[in-house]
Amino acid sequence: MSAPALAILGAGMVTGVGLTAPAACAAIRCAIDNFQETRFMDAGGEWLLGCEVPLEQPWRGRTKLVKMLAMALQECLDEVPDLDPASTPLILGVAETSRPGRLEGLDDALIREVEAELGLRFHPGSRAIAGGRIAVVEGLWRARELLASRDVDRAIVAGVDGLLIASSLAAFEARDRLLTSRNSNGFIPGEAAAALVVELAGPSEAPQLLCMGLGFGSEPAHVEADDQPLRADGLVAAIRGALGEIGTTLAATDFRIVDVSGEQYGFKEAALALSRLLRERKAEYDIWHPADCIGEVGAAIGAVMLGVTRAAVTKAYAPGNHVLAHFGNDDGRRAAAILSYQPVRAS
């Protein structure tokens, strides 16, 4: 193995279907959603559907992102009680800079504000990554570098985002990206925060979910590039990169979990990538997409997906212990991660 594996020690999650990781994962397992009419109207005069996180007060904008993120981080701190925030960097995924209607202050103020909300300070190496849906993989890559250098023993990789913003919804509707009364090929907007505590994997008597490999790619025929045929080159490159880090093939994985959020493009890309990479016949190869329950949540989806995977393998309702997770941004950036659950002592 050319790169060290990461062990996921804890998870926190705040979504429209649950304000903790166990609650959200249970709802997603049962295919429960919280899609309701929002205060936004589409061009046809109908109310837009969305998945809003129900907090105790009607916070909006960056304030709500801080509140959601603080809840997810506190859940991680509670699950890993010996975690020292001062020596643990927070690597936070936020919306990509090209996102329509992106809130101000995500890159330079959000971490300070969540520290104030929690009443603590994280390691000075904390940083925000404007990575969108692939931010969790970029965060895991950064965490792996920090942990391998032995500068820190643990890291928190998190994501927070929300698309229930008028300017964002107007822009996506104009591009025929939203599910509306006039467009059936679109996503339902949502909001969420999720966080993961990671460390370098080592021998353990307790079961653990390991992130074994990471990969990246770039897709020229992205969702808004109408002039090029889709071959899934970027996603294929990302998956090959992740598999290459551990010297295995796609056939060794048991199922997929993806960030697809309702648009046909994502399912087509996933199918094309599978047809190019899977060289052995598998009777079943499930594809999970939690956005079916929580909506399109941008940079939060990666940590949500890994949290859902952790719950599924530890509670033994997953189709297997080896998982492919893949992610894609609207600008063509792609990422993949290979996860492996070890239910017995690692050797």
Domains held by the chain: number: 2
Q: In 55-126, where do the E strands start and end?
A: 90-93
330: which 2 tokens? 């609207």
Cα gap 25→193, rounded to integer Å: 13
User: For position 3, what pLDDT does the model report?
Assistant: 84
User: For position 223, what pLDDT does the model report?
Assistant: 87
Contact between 20 and 13 under an 8 Å Cβ cutoff? The reply is: yes
Domain range for 292 is: 210-342
The tens-digit pLDDT sequence of the chain (347 residues) is: 468 999 999 999 999 999 999 999 999 999 999 999 999 999 999 999 999 999 999 999 999 999 999 999 999 999 999 999 999 999 999 999 999 999 999 999 999 999 999 999 999 999 999 999 999 999 999 999 999 998 899 999 999 999 999 999 999 999 999 999 999 999 999 999 999 999 999 888 889 999 999 999 999 999 887 778 899 999 999 999 999 999 999 999 999 999 999 899 999 999 999 999 998 888 899 999 999 999 999 999 999 999 999 999 999 999 999 999 999 999 999 999 999 999 875 44
- What does the angle CA 223 – CA 226 – CA 231 come to, to the nearest 5 degrees? 65
Domain for residue 1, yes or no?
no
Whole-angstrom Cα Rg for the chain: 19
Last-in-domain residue among 200, 224, 246: 200
pLDDT in tens, 184-239: 999 999 999 999 999 999 888 889 999 999 999 999 999 887 778 899 999 999 99
User: For position 345, what pLDDT does the model report?
Assistant: 54
Question: Is 224 found in the same domain as 173?
Answer: no
Last-in-domain residue among 200, 228, 261: 200
Question: Is 215 found in the same domain as 185?
Answer: no
Domain for residue 74, yes or no?
yes
Contact between 309 and 318 under an 8 Å Cβ cutoff? The reply is: yes
Strand partners for 159: 93, 194
Domain for residue 132, yes or no?
yes
Question: Is 175 found in the same domain as 69?
Answer: yes
Question: Is 185 found in the same domain as 231?
Answer: no
Token look-up 């985002």 returns 161
Domain for residue 205, yes or no?
no
Last-in-domain residue among 169, 200, 231: 200
Question: Is 152 found in the same domain as 81?
Answer: yes
Cα gap 176→284, rounded to integer Å: 33
Please tell me the pTM assigned to this model: 0.95
- Which candidate, 195, 308, 330, 215, places its Cα nearest to that of 256? 308
Domain for residue 25, yes or no?
yes
Cα gap 11→318, rounded to integer Å: 17
Output DSSP code: residue 187: B
Question: Would strands 36-41 and 47-50 be described as parallel, antiparallel, or unpaired?
Answer: antiparallel
Q: In 137-207, where do the E strands start and end?
A: 154-162, 191-200
253: which 2 tokens? 């994985």
**Residue 321 CB partners (closer than 8 Å, separation 6+):** 254, 313, 340, 341, 342, 343
User: For position 225, what pLDDT does the model report?
Assistant: 78
Three-class secondary structure of residue 92 per DSSP: strand
Output DSSP code: residue 252: G
Indicate the Cα dihedral angle 15, 79, 138, 160, nearest 10°: 30
Domain for residue 347, yes or no?
no
Output DSSP code: residue 103: P
158: which 2 tokens? 């998190």
Q: What's the half-sphere exposure (Cβ side, CA atoms, 13 Å) at 308?
A: 34
Q: What is the CATH number of the domain that holds 131?
A: 3.40.47.10
